[in-house]
Amino acid sequence: MKKLSYFLFTKSIGLYINVLSFVFPKEASRLAYAFFSEPRIGKLSKKNLPEILQDTQTETFQQGEHSFQTYTWKGNDTIILLVHGWESNASRWENMLPYLKKSGSTIIAIDGPAHGLSSGKEFSIPKYAEFIDLAVQKFKPQYLIGHSIGGKACLYYQSSYQNTTVQKIVILGSPSDFKIILHNYIALLSLNTKISKALEDHYLNYFKLKIEDFSGRLFAAKIDVKGLIAHDINDTVVLFEEGKKIASNWKNAVFIETKGLGHSMHDDELYKKVAHFLFEAE
């Protein structure tokens, strides 16, 4: 019943946008992009923070008209920056934190655009990369860890900014080809070719990238730092092949195949491997 309701809901939205595109094409394009880029869940309230974030040093940074939130578990001079994925927030790292804390490191988690306590309604990887860059400039992390679209944001960030402070990057269950994500959305809503073209044009006009070039595989090819890529063969959100694409172009990265973890990638053994990768003797 829930699947049927969801199917009817998405198709109804798509039908409305398609009809609107013949009368008010700009409004139809705006609406289609809004549904695609605005997360429905993942926001937090200062009055009701998850327990894992309550015992942290919090800091809010301004980036243009937007603000973003960071949470710090204070430790030594080794700094780790954690970058969550779509419709999530900094609390998603609760299970991994004990393994990172064993090293004594200072750990900083960030809320992405339109997530957690960060401002805005629209999420995009370039905007996320701007947040990451401010955090890197402020905290000087040696290590980045990203989950899902947060992992792709880390790849985009390092390939674009080439920050020499960053020494290692870990990405978990991260997508490569943005074209697949966008086309899946178009298919889900059964959007017409006018709207499809408008969505592609939006990324070209605003982000100066063709969607086929907005690829984690291509970003990885420009990265020299050491990497660890982990992806689950049972991931139904971001297919296993996406992780393999990234690994194929990241010359200084190792690839870990997991089974039975799904997209969340929560697993004690995996976390041990991540910690070993980060803190192993060179």
189 is a domain residue:
yes
Q: In angstroms, what CA-CA distances link 103 with 97, 195, 229?
A: 10, 50, 21
- pLDDT at position 100: 97
42 is a domain residue:
no
- pLDDT at position 209: 77
- pLDDT at position 173: 98
pTM exceeds cut of 0.85: yes
- pLDDT at position 101: 96
- pLDDT at position 64: 85
Pair 168, 263 in one domain: yes
- pLDDT at position 143: 98
* Residues sharing a CB contact under 8 Å with residue 181, sequence separation 6 or more, in sequence order: 175
Pair 96, 81 in one domain: yes
Compute the distance between CA of residue 167 and CA of residue 223 in angstroms, rounded to an integer: 11
> Residue 272: which CATH number?
3.40.50.1820
- Of 210, 221, 205, 92, the closest CA to residue 155 belongs to 221
43 is a domain residue:
no
Q: What is the dihedral of CA 202, 204, 205, 206, to 10 degrees?
A: 80
How many residues are recorded in the chain? 282
Question: What would the two tokens of residue 181 be?
Answer: 């994500």
Q: How many helices (H) and strands (E) are present in the chain, helices listed first?
A: 11, 8
Longest dimension (CA), the chain: 63
92 is a domain residue:
yes
- pLDDT at position 4: 66
Q: In angstroms, what CA-CA distances link 235 with 62, 120, 230, 265?
A: 35, 29, 11, 9
Last residue of a domain, one of 213, 239, 273: 213
44 is a domain residue:
no
* Residues sharing a CB contact under 8 Å with residue 144, sequence separation 6 or more, in sequence order: 80, 81, 83, 132, 154, 157, 158, 166, 168, 169, 170
Strands 168-172 and 226-232: parallel
Pair 146, 273 in one domain: yes
Total count of domains within the chain: 2
- Of 166, 23, 152, the closest CA to residue 81 belongs to 166
Per-residue pLDDT of the chain (282 residues; tens, 9 = 90+): 556 676 677 889 999 999 999 999 999 999 999 999 999 999 999 999 999 999 999 999 998 888 999 999 999 999 999 999 999 999 999 999 999 999 999 999 999 999 999 999 999 999 999 999 999 999 999 999 999 999 999 999 999 999 999 999 999 999 999 988 999 999 989 999 999 999 999 888 888 878 888 999 999 999 999 999 999 999 999 999 999 999 999 999 999 999 999 999 999 999 999 999 999 855
Last residue of a domain, one of 213, 232, 267: 213
Pair 207, 101 in one domain: no
Pair 166, 183 in one domain: no
Dihedral class, residue 87 (left if φ above 0, else alpha if ψ from -120 to 50, else beta): left
Pair 167, 61 in one domain: yes
67 is a domain residue:
yes
- pLDDT at position 280: 82
- Of 34, 37, 72, the closest CA to residue 54 belongs to 72
Strand order in the sheet with 79-83: 57-63, 66-73, 106-110, 79-83, 143-147, 168-172, 226-232, 253-258
Pair 230, 196 in one domain: no
Pair 54, 96 in one domain: yes
Pair 90, 153 in one domain: yes
Domain carrying residue 194: 1-37+178-213
Last residue of a domain, one of 186, 213, 240: 213
Pair 232, 191 in one domain: no
Pair 266, 221 in one domain: yes
Inter-residue contact 53 to 91 (CB < 8 Å): yes
45 is a domain residue:
no
Pair 159, 237 in one domain: yes
